């Protein structure tokens, strides 16, 4: 017999210009995003949402680590169809108890974030920077059929370098928004639209492979807190000379499409160096 203490997937469909029929709240002394005031016979009610349910995921993406505004935005982006993973109060309490019993101590957790060679995997890093006279001081690239955009040509002593950005870092989030599956052009636009301040969640190749192997999402909650501080803007009076550019013809074929785009965008200063 299946236990009633299980998460529930509720598929909610509403009519255009109508509401789903529930409120999403964060309440004092209560953890998580709460479903409140489910209207009788509303799309939410018919889909099985209950008052006081805790929201776990929106359209398959976990939202426990997101703030209220980010979750609301994800719901708005769904337009007329929405899939919510929720748990009731009893189920939430049970899962938290089990998690508490199973979670290792901080020391044990540090041991788990190690390769079999004994070398520690770098944690994801939140790199906050303020644009200097010559920009943020990095380039952004993407290779066809490879996961996500990555950082390159981090300018020595520039804002990105000071904030902890490294060459070949995987770019996970731009200003709190996951960009791993976004088109290259959209990621560039997010960076461009950030103005003078930019927050990036990045990780090394080793860290990326570790989290993939563990089937764990890379989020700000997994980041190394020591990097979570604004880097001061660069104070370079004269920007250093640009490094000599490699001809696009020398790139491997599987890299050529996106690299050509990167060089062209760089020339128009959409990617900051």
Q: Tell me what the pLDDT averaged over the chain comes to.
A: 73
Q: φ, ψ for residue 204 (rounded to 5)?
A: -75, 170
Pair 121, 114: CB distance under 8 Å:
yes
Pair 197, 131: CB distance under 8 Å:
yes
pLDDT in tens, the chain (273 residues): 344 557 789 999 998 888 899 999 887 767 788 999 999 999 999 999 999 898 888 888 888 778 888 888 888 888 788 999 888 877 766 655 544 444 444 444 444 444 333 444 568 889 999 988 888 889 888 876 677 788 888 999 889 988 889 888 999 999 999 998 888 888 889 998 988 899 999 998 888 888 887 778 888 887 776 655 454 444 433 444 343 333 333 334 344 333 333 322 332 233 333
212 half-sphere exposure, CB direction, 13 A CA radius: 12
| Residue-range domains of the chain with CATH | 8-101 (2.30.42.10), 125-236+250-267 (2.30.42.10)
Q: Is the dihedral of CA 200, 206, 210, 215 positive or negative?
A: positive
Among left, alpha and beta (phi > 0; psi -120 to 50; other), residue 176 is left
CA distances from 224 to 117, 118, 157, 253 (A): 21, 19, 21, 36
pLDDT score at 94: 61
Q: Which residues contact 35 (CB under 8 A, 6 or more apart)?
A: 22, 23, 24, 44, 49, 50, 51, 52, 53, 54, 55, 86
pLDDT score at 13: 93
Q: Distance between CA atoms of 24 and 76, rounded to whole angstroms?
A: 12
75 half-sphere exposure, CB direction, 13 A CA radius: 27
Q: Where are the beta strands (DSSP E) in the chain?
A: 8-13, 23-25, 33-36, 54-58, 61-62, 81-87, 125-130, 139-141, 150-152, 170-174, 177-178, 197-203, 230-231
Question: For residue 271, which of 97, 121, 150 has the smallest C-alpha distance?
Answer: 150
Question: For residue 153, which of 242, 237, 238 has the smallest C-alpha distance?
Answer: 242
């Amino acid at each position: 017999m299946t236990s009633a203490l299980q998460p529930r997937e509720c598929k909610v469909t509403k009519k255009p210009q109508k509401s789903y029929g529930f409120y999403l709240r964060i309440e004092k002394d209560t953890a998580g995003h709460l479903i409140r005031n489910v209207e009788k016979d509303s799309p939410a009610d018919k889909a099985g949402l209950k008052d006081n349910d805790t929201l776990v995921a929106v359209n398959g993406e976990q939202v426990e680590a997101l703030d209220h505004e980010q979750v609301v935005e994800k719901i708005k982006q769904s337009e007329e169809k929405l899939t919510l993973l929720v748990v009731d109060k009893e189920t939430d309490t049970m899962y938290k108890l089990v998690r508490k019993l199973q979670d290792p101590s901080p020391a044990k957790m540090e041991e788990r974030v190690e390769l079999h060679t004994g070398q520690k995997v770098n944690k994801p890093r939140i790199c906050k920077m303020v644009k200097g006279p010559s920009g943020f001081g990095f380039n952004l690239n993407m290779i066809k059929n490879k996961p996500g955009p990555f950082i390159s040509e981090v300018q020595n002593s520039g804002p990105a370098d000071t904030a902890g950005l490294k060459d070949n870092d995987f770019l996970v989030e731009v200003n709190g928004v996951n960009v791993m599956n976004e088109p290259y052009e959209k990621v560039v636009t997010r960076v461009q639209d950030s103005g003078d301040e930019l927050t990036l969640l990045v990780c090394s190749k080793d860290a990326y492979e570790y989290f993939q192997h563990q089937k764990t999402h890379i989020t700000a909650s997994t980041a190394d807190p020591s990097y979570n501080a604004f880097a001061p803007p660069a104070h370079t009076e004269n920007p250093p000379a640009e490094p000599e550019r490699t001809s696009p013809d020398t790139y491997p074929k599987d890299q050529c499409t996106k690299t050509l785009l990167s060089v062209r965008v760089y020339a128009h200063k959409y990617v900051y160096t």
